[in-house]
Amino acid sequence: MTVRRGALIGCGFFARNHMHGWAEVEGAEIVAVCDRDTAKAERMRADFGVPHAYGDAEEMLRTEKLDFVDVVTTSPFHKQLVELAARHGVAAICQKPFADTYADAEAMVRACEAAGVPLAVHENFRWQRPFVELGERIAAGRIGKPVYARISFRHAFDYYANQPYLTEVERLSLMDIGLHLYDLARYLVGEVETLACRTQRINPIVRGEDSFTSLLGHVGGATSVVECSAFAKYDPDPFPETTAVVEGTEGTLELLRGYRLIEHHAGSSFETNVDVEVPAWGAKPWQVVQRSVAAFNRHFVDVLNGKAEAQPSGAHNLGTMALALASYDSAASGSVIRMSEWRETGHG
């Protein structure tokens, strides 16, 4: 088996999940890690037995023979790092948000297309077992044609303890969780024609919106509601679960808290538990997220080996970026936006 040589760039909070995920994947090996904070890079190298640690990505790409890089930095660094990888003929995975502006996202896609290397965006929600199961059942025609969906992510988990920079971000929930939820809406229901969004800032410690509700009109006539709150009070707190319902012409799929997936048909229903085992390196309540990281990494090895198309690719994620950015325009103007007519203005 060909073992693909990779490097991780960005050794912060969530990157440890990436490293554990790569350790589970056959056919790939992380041979170097990189962070501008060299102490962080060295700790990651030592903790995971990686051969080399770097403080400069350019030096790493000149020195190491790599098949791919896994970029797990914050978004302001994504464009320069993805374009750097492309110049070296190296495939890239980019953490979300893919970019801060649509123009930057387009530039990253162009750079990788010109270099002939794959570019994937680490949208791990669609790789969580509950949503893999939902997607497979919809694709198999179990509920007929989808006509309505609701995707909901509501909790009061303290993101800010591990990622304090988020309190200062002016565009918050849409560019953090909203991208995941819009990607799910596209994955489960299809492409989006129209969008209307309303945002709220409820938690006084944040600068950006921490809640939003969006109404999407999909190609083919389906409607979906996508909603998120990072300040919703429940006991027990459901973080990090996403709930969903997808109604079709022949049945309904209902994903409830506790990873209960119920398939409804006229006069009958049955339930499946779609939780996953906690990985040896993981802990509740993160298990579904942690397993999804390994699932995405495994998928990307298939992409490198020509066995799969990236899900999502950088090019596909442009549509998700457009939805998130257009949501700000809709919320500011109180208007319904037709996505075929949307153009980025004044962001960045």
d(CA 291, CA 273): 15
Structure tokens at 86: 């492309």
pLDDT for the residue 159: 84
Task: Tell me 275's DSSP state.
Answer: -
pLDDT in tens, 114-158: 999 999 999 999 999 999 999 999 999 999 999 999 999 999 999
How many C-beta atoms lie closer than 10 Å to residue 48's C-beta? 15
Q: Are strands 91-95 and 68-71 parallel, antiparallel or unpaired?
A: parallel
| pLDDT tops 70 at residue 347 | no
Neighbours of 164 (CB within 10 A): 10
Match 């490097």 to its residue by tokens: 7
pLDDT in tens, 218-272: 999 999 999 999 999 999 999 999 999 999 999 999 999 999 999 999 999 999 9
Q: Which domains does the chain have, with CATH numbers?
A: 4-117 (3.40.50.720), 125-279+317-337 (3.30.360.10)
SS3 53: strand
Q: What percent of the chain has pLDDT over 90?
A: 95
- The answer for 266, left when phi > 0, alpha when psi is -120 to 50, beta otherwise, is beta
The candidate with the shortest Cα–Cα distance to 187, out of 141, 123, 122, 126, is 126
348 pLDDT band, cuts 50/70/90, is very low
Q: What is the pTM of this model?
A: 0.96
Q: Which positions ≥6 away from 159 have C-beta within 8 Å?
A: 166, 176, 230
Query: How far is C-alpha 338 from the chain's CA centre?
Result: 24
For residue 71, what are the β-bridge partners? 9, 94
Cβ atoms of 226 and 185 closer than 8 Å: yes
Q: How far apart are CA 95 and CA 134, in angstroms?
A: 23
Find the DSSP H helices in 163-284: 173, 179-188
Beta strands in the chain (DSSP E): 4-9, 28-34, 52-54, 68-71, 91-95, 119-122, 146-154, 192-200, 211-218, 223-229, 243-248, 252-256, 260-265, 268-273, 337-338
